[in-house]
A = this chain, B = another copy of it.
Amino acid sequence: MRRHDHQTTQADLTAGAVLAPYLQDQAAEFLRSLRLHRENSAPTDAGSHGAEEAAGALRRSSRRIGGTLHTFRAALDATWAEQLRTELAWLSGTLAREHAYATRLNRLLEALHALSGTSLPTARNGSDGATDKERAALGVGAARAGALLERQLTLARTRAHSAALQALGSSRFHAVADAVALLASEVPLAPAAAAPAEEMLHGPADRAEQQLLGAVAALPSGQAVEPYNEAQDAPWHRTRLLLRLHRYAHEVVRGAPDPVLAAPGHALDLHRDASEAAAAAASAARTPRIAPATAYALGVLHADQRHEVTAARGVFRTSWPYAAAVIAP
């Protein structure tokens, strides 16, 4: 437990005096980014840069409020907390989709670009006589795969964009926005929030950390990895979410995120991105009537992203600061 090496700065404050300002700051941030998003959104095109930035900020504050409501629910009005948390999860999930499709497309096109050299050296290394025609054919495969992914993911992104705009116009969203506006002015605390922060907040924060440590310790070892067994990804995705909850709890209790978890957190984000990009390549390969060269390029792409998944796990293990999880990468 690193936190025990620290000197707590809030021994003399009540739980409410620590929780309320954090939630109010995040609520203010939520409302600010919401305004920004409205100013920058054109329903016609798929999100201007300003709108994307605002949506990102909106997601960040939604996640922090939701995480805090979850971890420290004992110090808050339980029904209200649980209800708002559910709504914020719906909102950030809806907003996240558009961003995810955009990131996935960029990642896959960049990977394809790096891979499209594949066939030429095969030809060069002489062990099989690929002619210029064959090489051209494979180059075409990569280009076609890129065009196919661009079509499919741009379509998905546009749909996600409209869904997000629709959500932001819905009465369900307006209820969320009102709840957050109220939160910005007054936090519905439980009577228990009058107790010292030390007593009310450190226990839940420690539990959040324990759940993270437990999840990491339970991750399959580097040796056990089957790069193509995508069922193995789930515990890593779960660990990513627990790391996030721990980060927010740390922000509440310590006033800042835990710096040693930045690198492993980033590795888990890359893990998630590569895992989803691999799935998108596999799914594109199931498009009816595609050319073999296209399917071949998508197969290379799928395998490449699965190896990125494995690489991200290695980075996570080497950057993980707790001895508990020093497993051979």
Chain A interfacial positions (CB closer than 8 Å to B): 114-115, 117-119, 121-122, 124-125, 127-128, 130, 134, 137-138, 226-234, 275-276, 278-280, 282-283, 285-286, 290-304, 306-307
Contact = CB atoms under 8 A, between A and B. Distances in A.
A281 to B, nearest CB: 9
Given A122-B278, A125-B231, 14 more contacts: A114-B228, A118-B302, A121-B233, A124-B231, A125-B234, A127-B279, A127-B280, A127-B283, A137-B286, A138-B282, A138-B285, A292-B295, A296-B299, A299-B299
Contacts of A234: 125
A283 B295 CA distance: 15
Given A295-B299, A296-B296, A302-B299, A279 B230 contact: no
Nearest to A145: B299
Contact of A228 (B117, B226, B229, B291): B117
A114 B283 contact: no
A143 to B, nearest CB: 15
Counting chain B CB atoms within 10 Å of each CB, the highest count among A285, A295, A299 belongs to A299
B283 A292 contact: no
Contacts of A280: 127-128
Given A286-B134, A307-B307, A128 B298 contact: no
B117 A226 contact: yes
Counting chain B CB atoms within 10 Å of each CB, the highest count among A226, A233, A303 belongs to A303
B117 A279 contact: no
Contacts of A283: 122, 127-128, 130
Contacts of A295: 292-293, 295-296, 299
Contacts of A298: 296, 299
A228 B300 CA distance: 10
A282 B119 contact: yes
25 contacts: A115-B303, A117-B229, A118-B302, A118-B306, A119-B282, A122-B278, A124-B231, A127-B276, A127-B279, A128-B279, A130-B282, A130-B286, A134-B286, A138-B282, A227-B304, A228-B300, A285-B296, A292-B295, A293-B295, A296-B296, A299-B299, A299-B301, A299-B302, A300-B302, A300-B303
Nearest to A294: B292
Contacts of A134: 286
